[in-house]
Every structure is written in C-alpha cells, then in structure tokens.
Amino acid sequence: MGNKYSRRDALKTMVLGSGALSIGGVVSSFAAINFIDKHQADKKNLNINHSVCRWCFQDIPLNKFAQECAALGISAIDLLKPSEWDTVEKHGLVCSMATDDFADIENGFNAPENHETLQKNYKGLIEKASEHNIKNVIVFSGNRRGRDEKTGIRNCVAGLKPLLKYAERKNVNLVMELLNSKVDHADYMCDNTEWGVALADELNAPNFKLLYDIYHMQVMEGDIIATIKKHHKHIAHYHTAGVPGRNEINDSQELNYSAIMNAIVETGFDGYVAQEFIPTYDNKMVALKEAIEICDV
C-alpha cells in the first residue's frame, strides 16, 4: 500500500515497473492466458458507465487490453493520446478522456507564460477529439509556484476562455482534474474542490467541468459523498483508487466505493467513472474485474 508510483511516472516511462506487490494465493489460480474466455462480463446494472485509465495497465499491449476491457463490460479507456484512439475504437470502446504529450500537470493555465503554447496545442487536440466524437479533454491548473488562489483563478480564466469558445463549437468539454498536493503532486494548485468550483463559477462556461478524483480528494479533504452531492453539477468525470496507497478499491482500504457510486448515481450523473488504481495482483485484469464489480451498483 506504500506504492508511490504516479501517473506522471507512467507517462514519462510509458511502462509500469515490475515491482508490483503480489496477493499470492488469492489470485494464483487465475492465469492471464485465456482470461476473456474464463471471465466474460456479467450483465451490468447500467447505472455506471465504466472506464479505466490506460497508464495503470501500461504493460499490457493496448490492443489486448482493449479487448479484455470490452469483455469485462468496460465501454471506455481514459487518458489516451490521439495515436491510440483507433486501436480502442476497433474494439467498440471510446476514449473517455483525451490527452497528449504536451499536457503537463505542473505547467498549466495558472501561468500566463504558458497560455500561448497551451492554447495552440490544445486547439489541435480539441480538433482531433471532435473528429473522433470524443467529448472530454483534460486540462491542468499547474503548480502554484508562489501564486495566491485568486491570482491562479484569474490566470486560468484568461488562458481557458478562448479555448472554451473554440471547444464549444467542436462539442468538446475541457475538464480540469482535482489532484492532491499532499502525497502525489506537491504544489499543484487545483488541489481542493472549492478552488475548482470557484474557477468554474468564474468561467461560467457550460463546457468547463471538473474531474473529481476520489482518491486525491480523500487525501486532501475527505467528506467525499457530501462533496459530490453538493458540487455534482460541476463534475463531468470521476477517477477511483484506494486510500491509502492508490491500489485496489476493495476492503483493504478505507473508502466505501459502493456507497460512493450509489451517491453518484443519485445525482443523475451520466458520464464515466474511470478506474485509476495501481494494481498489485499478479493478474491485473482480475483486479480490474473486481473493481468494476464493486462499482457496478
């Protein structure tokens, strides 16, 4: 549970390390070979649109991963770059959150010196996403670097407004992720729900929303279900992971994901819930299957 591996590490290396923990006998009977034949998806409740973040399963070839995800009843894969979209689409899946190499957690829209480059690069990504009917593109606030909260919001508004108008014409949402600055992303500015909501209120754009990462917000502020109920109108997307450790979402960690999913359903949410835990099981697809079953309320 002490695994410090992050998405930033994965995006840099494009492969997970081999030092994952083992559950041993619990999953030893599940062989990776012929996984789909042995674990066809049960009928889903259809209350949650299931997705999964690619980076957590980076060591599985994308074509194989997409095929096995489809067999589990997963309908989308998160955080894919344009070069990867065709591969998942041929298996009937969609990219539920688009990204590209230039998207930088630490260097985002809260710094005016980044605006020109980000606007140019994001316009290209929005255009490509629109052509593939992809609805969500991820954006980041960037690190504080001494900026106060109001200055950060003002700078993000200035950088995002022109893009939001362009994205609206392309039927694309810009979605800013809430990340913790306590464990994984030191100094990140959009590290609490209230700041993200304040930015959304300032922008007042129907196609600017938040990515509410349950793991990150449990680390930062807790009170997950009450926060979701209060601010759900600003949330377009959810990520999961266990706390502490960012591993499986089962009973080994502190969050009650079934209760959280029920709360999400009660808000009328119709977007995607993407698994973003770092699997520790010998067979990572077994861990993913377990997570989908927990969330399928």
**DSSP for 176-245, written as a single string:** EEP--TTTTSTTBS--SHHHHHHHHHHH--TTEEEEEEHHHHHHHT--HHHHHHHHGGGEEEEEE--TTT
Residue 111 has pLDDT above 90, yes or no: yes
Residue 42: pLDDT band by 50, 70, 90 thresholds?
A: low
* pLDDT score at 34: 47
Return the CATH number at 175. 3.20.20.150
What pLDDT is attached to residue 36? Answer: 43
CA neighbor of 267 nearest in space, from 220, 217, 225: 225
Q: Is there a domain that residue 1 lies in?
A: no
Cβ within 8 Å of residue 15, ≥6 positions away:
58, 59
The vertex-68 CA angle with 64 and 74, nearest 5°, equals: 130
170 or 11: which leads in pLDDT: 170
Flag whether 240 is in a domain.
yes
Distance of CA 230 to the CA centre of its chain: 20
pLDDT per position as a tens digit, 84-96 = 999 999 999 999 9
Per-residue pLDDT at 7 = 60
Q: What is the pLDDT of residue 19?
A: 39
What is the per-residue pLDDT for 43? 67
pLDDT at 181 over 70: yes
Reported as a pLDDT band with limits 50, 70 and 90, residue 44 is: confident
pLDDT band at 81 (very low <50, low <70, confident <90, very high): very high
Q: Determine the average pLDDT of the residues in 201-211.
A: 98
Q: Is residue 65 part of a domain?
A: yes
Mean pLDDT over 46-73 rounds to 97
Contact 288, 57 (CB under 8 A): yes
Residue 27 pLDDT greater than 70, yes or no: no
> How many whole angstroms separate alpha carbon 49 and alpha carbon 189?
29
- Confidence bin at 30 (pLDDT 50/70/90): very low
Q: What is the pLDDT of residue 32?
A: 42
Q: Is the pLDDT of residue 25 over 60?
A: no
| Higher pLDDT pick, 43 / 108 | 108
Name the residue range of residue 231's domain: 48-295
Helix (H, G, I), strand (E, B) or coil at 136: strand
- Please indicate, yes or no, if residue 23 is contained in any of the structural domains: no
The beta strand positions in 35-88, using DSSP E, are 49-53, 76-80
Number of domains observed in the structure of the chain: 1
- Nearest alpha carbon to residue 141 among 171, 105, 117: 105
Residue 35 — very low, low, confident or very high, per pLDDT cuts 50/70/90?
A: very low
pLDDT tens-digit map of 120-151: 999 999 999 999 999 999 999 999 999 999 99
Considering the domain boundaries, does residue 32 fall inside one?
no
Query: What does DSSP say about strands 173-177 and 208-213: parallel, antiparallel, or unpaired?
Result: parallel
d(CA 216, CA 70): 27
50 beta partners: 273
In a domain, residue 179? The reply is yes
Express as a percent the part of the chain with pLDDT over 90: 85
The interaxial angle of helices 149-169 and 115-131, nearest 10 deg, is: 30
Geometric angle at alpha carbon 72, from 32 and 22, rounded to 5°: 40
Condensed to tens digits (0 to 9), the pLDDT of residues 262-295 reads 999 999 999 999 999 999 999 999 999 999 999 9
Please check whether residue 266 lies inside any domain of the structure.
yes
- Phi-psi category of residue 173: left, alpha or beta, with phi > 0 → left and psi -120 to 50 → alpha: beta
Question: Domain for residue 27, yes or no?
Answer: no
